[in-house]
Structure formats: C-alpha cells, structure tokens
Structure 1
Amino acid sequence: MIQRVQSIFLFLITVAMTAVIFAPIWAGQGEGVTATLTATELTIDKGTEGDAINTIAIAIVSGLSAVVALFSLISFNDRMKQVKINLLNAVLIFAVIGLNMYYGYMQGTEIVGENNGKFEIGFFLPVFAIVFNSMANRFIQRDEKKVRDSISGRLRD
C-alpha cells in the first residue's frame, strides 16, 4: 500500500541508491593530478595523460540495493518478509558505503595525496538510505504490532 509511511521511505531508498549511480562520489586535486570518483570509474587526470580505474562494483551493488528496496515496497502484504528484505538491503547499502570509502579514501588519496580530496553528494546518499531503511523498518514493525494487538484483542472477546 503506497499510502503507508514506510512506503515513502522505501521509495526514497530506491531514489537515493539509483542517484548514487549518476552522482559524483569523491573528487580530489593534488600536485598536477585531479581525480574524480563516480559509481563506474575513478578518473585520474595528470594534465597531458589520463587513466581510469574501473569501479563498476559500486554501480552494481547500488543498483541491486535500489531493486531490493523496490521489491520490499511491493511486498507490503507480508510485513515480516519486508523486514528481512530491508535487513538484506542494509547490508547492500553498507557495502556501497564501504566501496565508496575504499575507492575514494584509499585509492583516491593514494593518487592525489592526503587531505586533498572531498566527498561529494554520491557518498552521502547511501547514508541517507540507511536512515530511510531504519525508519521504514520502524514503521513496518509498528504496523505489525498493531495487527497483532488487534488480533489478540479479538481473541480475548
């Protein structure tokens, strides 16, 4: 049911994780070197020559997370199944955060030097998605409690 508040959070997870694929994640500039991380590659520009490191894993895991959130959205009939799906999605989102940290902080700072880079919006979107995921789980569990209370109330009568 789209009118449930957790549906809004699940939709926002889908939007955020899809946006990670298209948004810049990290950018850095050092001595004659500029590096930019997106979900598909870490581009290194050394003035006259350039190089790229394949980071398609970020795009794949982020896209998978968006699909899992969409699947959770349409699984509204079974609330406990939704909670389990959201747990899987939390693992996927943390994997995206880990990949972002690895390619941005570890690989990027190796290229441009320490303290010469900054995280862009694509890094923070998975953090928002984790918050949305926990909020969706909270409201799903609240709905489950209401249903169980109403069933146990009917059984007592």
Structure 2
Amino acid sequence: MLQRIQTLFLAIVVVGMVGMISLPIWEKIAVDANQSVQLTALRLTHTAGNSSMITPTWYLALLGALIAGVALFAIFQYKNRLLQSGLCAVNSILMTIIMGLVMYFIFGKAKKLFDVSASGDFSFGFYSLIVAMLANVLANRFIRRDEKFVRSQERMR
C-alpha cells in the first residue's frame, strides 16, 4: 500500500538526493572576494581572479542518482517488506559513502586551497543530503515496525 508513512519518507529520500545533485553543497569565499571554492555534485571549482581550476566529482552525482533510484524502487516493493528494509539498508551504506566523499572534498581538498583558518558555508545541497539520510532511517524504522506488526497478527490466528 502506497499510503504508508514509509512511502512518504522514501519519497523525501528521492527529493533530497535530487536536491543534493542539483544544488551547491559547500562554498567558501575569500575575505577580499578574490578567490572562491564551490563544491557541487559534479565539480569542485576553485576560482582565483580570472582563472579557475575544476576538479570533476561526477561520481557524487552518480551515487546520488543511484540512491534516488534505489529509494524509488523501494517505494514500490511495499508487498515485500524484508526486501524494502534491505534496500533501505543498502541506501544507508551508500549515503554513508557519499557523506564520506563530501567530507573528504571539503576538509581534505577544498579547505586547503586558500585561507585555511576560514571555514566555508554548507549550502542547500548538503542539508538535503542530511534530510535524505534522516528520512531513510525513519523509513527503515517504519518498515520494520510494519513487519513486526504483521508477524504479531499472524501469531494470533
């Protein structure tokens, strides 16, 4: 049944991952506005004056699309709650990997490009990733709760 609460949470995962792919994740601008760094799901761009250096990060977008696809597939697996729960677990692992990659790019590469003491600002793409992670955890919790309820009803028969 598509009207369950976990369907809503899985839809939030899909929307959150689309937001992560399409919106900037992190930005840092120098005090004199001469240099800037921006991380998106497709590239890490360091602009200094008129020149810019671009590092491709397309695999963040690929992982985000894979997570959104798995969540969308899990929405329609409502008849098989164990499979749905397994898909949410796979999504949790993939989201942990994507969060690790984002942190690596922010603190391992981008922050060192200029003015190490200044921290950048997380943008909407990062927060949509956090929302997607929380929605995935809640979806998995409600799927397990439904499975537990169905098993308890079968014992009573």
Residues 28 and 112 in structure 1, CA contact (< 8 A), matched pair in contact too: no
Amino acid at match of 2:5: V
CA deviation string 1:42-64 (max 9, x = no partner): 11111121110101111011110
In the other structure, the counterpart of 1:84 is 86
CA deviation string 1:24-53 (max 9, x = no partner): 001012363211111000111111211101
Match of 1:118 among 97, 116, 121: 121
Question: Counterparts of 1:125 and 1:67 in 2: how far apart (Å)?
Answer: 16
After superposing the two structures, state which structure 1 stretch, 34-43 or 124-133, moved more. Answer: 124-133
Identity of aligned residues (%): 34
Match of 2:49 among 47, 50, 56: 47
Match of 1:130 among 122, 130, 133: 133
In the other structure, the counterpart of 1:147 is 150
**What is the Cα-based RMSD across aligned positions, in Å?**
1.2
CA deviation string 1:60-85 (max 9, x = no partner): 11110000101111111110111111
Matched ranges for 1:7-18 at <5 A:
7-18=7-18
Amino acid at match of 1:69: A
Aligned length: 154
The TM-score with structure 1 as length reference comes to: 0.93
In the other structure, the counterpart of 1:6 is 6
Amino acid at match of 1:90: S
Question: Counterparts of 1:7 and 1:85 in 2: how far apart (Å)?
Answer: 13
Question: Counterparts of 1:83 and 1:45 in 2: how far apart (Å)?
Answer: 43
Residues 25 and 104 in structure 1, CA contact (< 8 A), matched pair in contact too: no
Structure with the larger helix share: 1
In the other structure, the counterpart of 1:27 is 27
Matched, 1:106 2:108: yes
Residues 25 and 119 in structure 1, CA contact (< 8 A), matched pair in contact too: yes
SS at match of 2:100: helix
Amino acid at match of 1:82: Q
Question: Counterparts of 2:40 and 2:121 in 1: how far apart (Å)?
Answer: 13
Question: Counterparts of 1:56 and 1:24 in 2: how far apart (Å)?
Answer: 13
Q: CA deviation at 1:117?
A: 1.2
Question: Counterparts of 2:100 and 2:126 in 1: how far apart (Å)?
Answer: 10
Question: Counterparts of 2:113 and 2:37 in 1: how far apart (Å)?
Answer: 8
